[in-house]
Structure 1
Amino acid sequence: MIPFSAIRIFREIGDAAMVMALEQIEAIEEKNLLHAQIYTILGRYDEAEQMYLDSSRPIEALNMRRDLLEWPKALVLAETMDPKEIPFLSKEYAQELELT
């Protein structure tokens, strides 16, 4: 549980994005999932990935890498966690490469 004071402080300094992020994770009870979310908020994605992989929802590591458009890392995760996603990830990756 996120201390109410942290939410209040970020609200007072006008950081609406942080307030929303903290409110979303406030109800998470599983330690590894909570740590993963906090690492994600802080931009520490490698640590977040490891916490997701150690949690009850390891697929969230793949989802995080997909959301970050980190296709090579997402594809590596998909190989072991959800191989049926590989064609979709490959297509999204190819579409991004076409745009750059």
Structure 2
Amino acid sequence: MRIEQLAIALLSPLAVWLTQQPGNERRQRWACVVGLVSQPFWFYSVWLSGDWGIGVGCVIYTGIWVQGAWRYWVAPHRKSWPLRVDTRAGSPRIEWRRPTHR
């Protein structure tokens, strides 16, 4: 068995299992990380086999896992970022904010 097949067989079901943990957001948030870790193995497998239909699915799944990473890992911390882009006035304006320490 090739290494990419082993990684796909272990990581992909683990990622899906993590999404199905009701009421356990600590586990659910790791699903996207595990899913993203599995994607290079999927793309390599597609490259070797030439199954481009599966490649389209890989691109879609990567987008879904990135959305999960944004939701669970990036978005909760955005309010504390010192850089802010304001687009309300039409053209984008970049503002630096002082970090607020609690």
TM-score range relative to shorter protein: 0.3 to 0.5
Structure with the larger helix share: 1
Instruction: Tell me: higher relative CO, structure 1 or 2? Use CA pairs within 8 A at least 6 residues apart.
Output: 2
Structure with larger Rg:
2
The TM-score normalised by the length of structure 2 is 0.34
The TM-score normalised by the length of structure 1 is 0.34
Structure with the larger strand share: 2
